[in-house]
Amino acid sequence: MSCCSSEDGVVGSPIVPAMFVFGDSLVDDGNNNFLSSIARANYFPYGIDFDFAVPTGRFSNGKTFVDFLASMMGVASPAPFADPNTVGTRILGGVNYASAAAGILDESGQHYGERFSLSHQVLNFESTLNQLRTLMPASNLTSYLAKSVAVLLFGSNDYINNYLMPSLYPSRSLYTPPQFANLLLNHYARQLIALYSVGLRKFFVAGIGPLGCIPNQRSSRLVPPGRCADSVNQMLGTFNEGLRSLVDQLNQRPGAFYVYGNSYSAAGDILNNPATFGFSVVDKACCGMGGNLGQITCMPYIMPCPNRNQYVFWDAFHPTEAVNAILANRAFFGSPLYAYPINIQNLILK
């Protein structure tokens, strides 16, 4: 079983039947375009480096993390669930349920309007499952689901758009950081088990990256130039360590293969050694307004920086396409430091 090299990113012959994507704006490929939400990226300059320079709803200048993973798996990027055209044979290669501002908790990000939270995305997957049952016999469906890969990226909004917003959400006064992390992990575990119970067997579950280093947090917490908001980063340790432990527990289930993606270390490497990866700007957004160009995110028709491949951050919250490519390579081909206990390439072979 082989596919593209870590360099080419070209879609080859499929090495998985389908990829199902659950998450937030880091991997939303247009679901929020169809929702009543202010968290949208359906305008220029989003997508300036995407195919035909067209904004699709991806919160990037180009491809997302899962676009690169799809290429490595030899499948097309899964279509957004909320698109009315995502029906029939179009769902066979997988579906993307990710929604900007979504969290593990239903209330996270609610000030942005409509979004599909984690629990809602799992329900949406179950509706896809009902469609799949009409497209193939039950025995084929069991094998198809067992060989497909589910990718999940959650947790950032539970901090940025909940716990770290005490003026809008009470969670900070109700829970210490470790208690809040455990609340998230308990909710997450239930939904991961729900996806297993309906037939999925291969999972890549990403941890949270160093949120204290995104332009939005550097700006709003007034950290000194070149520094990250350490207090924010320190909060994430319990969640990330707990998610890694949860993967160990879930791997005890018959036929289950869960992989923990160490987003914190993978992104941390880039932030700590930017020149090694070809980056020169780590603390400012390529597109935005205010301090670090991170106080107000990329607005319609603002001209972004011309040297986008030298920037770690595209806007106040999201990495550039160049960073997404590195993170996807780490997840697919990386050592257990980045993909534990095995990488996605080996997960597919299971």
CB 264 within 8 A of CB 209: yes
CB 324 within 8 A of CB 23: no
* Domains of the chain in sequence order: 19-211+225-270+319-349 (3.40.50)
Work out the percent of the chain whose per-residue pLDDT is above 70: 97
Kindly provide the b/e burial profile for residues 308-341, where b requires at least 16 CB atoms within 10 angstroms of the residue's own CB: bbbbbbbbbbbbbbbbbbbbbbbbbbbeeebbbe
The tens digit of pLDDT for each residue in 265-276 reads 999 999 999 999
| pLDDT at residue 207 in the model | 98
| pLDDT at residue 61 in the model | 98
Tokens linked to 212:
């204290």
CB 124 within 8 A of CB 115: no
Work out the percent of the chain whose per-residue pLDDT is above 90: 93
Angle at CA of residue 43, ends 59 and 304, nearest 5°: 70
Closest CA relative to residue 23, chosen from 86, 80, 84: 80
Is a pLDDT exceeding 80 seen at residue 331? yes
Tokens linked to 171:
């969670």
pLDDT band with cut points at 50, 70 and 90 for residue 2: very low
pLDDT band with cut points at 50, 70 and 90 for residue 11: low
Average pLDDT, the chain: 95
Amino acid letter, residue 37: S
The tens digit of pLDDT for each residue in 215-237 reads 999 999 989 988 999 999 999 99
Closest CA relative to residue 316, chosen from 116, 34, 28, 46: 46
| pLDDT at residue 323 in the model | 98
Closest CA relative to residue 330, chosen from 346, 320, 344: 344
In terms of pLDDT, which residue wins out, 9 or 47?
47
Residue 152 has, within 13 A of its CA and on its CB side, a CA count of 28
Residue 201 has, within 13 A of its CA and on its CB side, a CA count of 19
Is a pLDDT exceeding 80 seen at residue 10? no
Amino acid letter, residue 39: A
Q: Is 52 left (phi over 0), alpha (psi -120 to 50) or beta?
A: left
Tokens linked to 46:
């989003």
The tens digit of pLDDT for each residue in 237-265 reads 999 999 999 999 999 999 999 999 999 99
| pLDDT at residue 12 in the model | 64
Residue listed under structure tokens 């999201």: 318
Q: Kindly list the catalytic residues.
A: 25, 315, 318
Angle at CA of residue 268, ends 103 and 172, nearest 5°: 35
The tens digit of pLDDT for each residue in 65-104 reads 999 999 999 999 999 999 999 999 999 999 999 999 999 9
Residues in Cβ contact with 303 at an 8 Å cutoff, skipping those fewer than 6 apart:
45
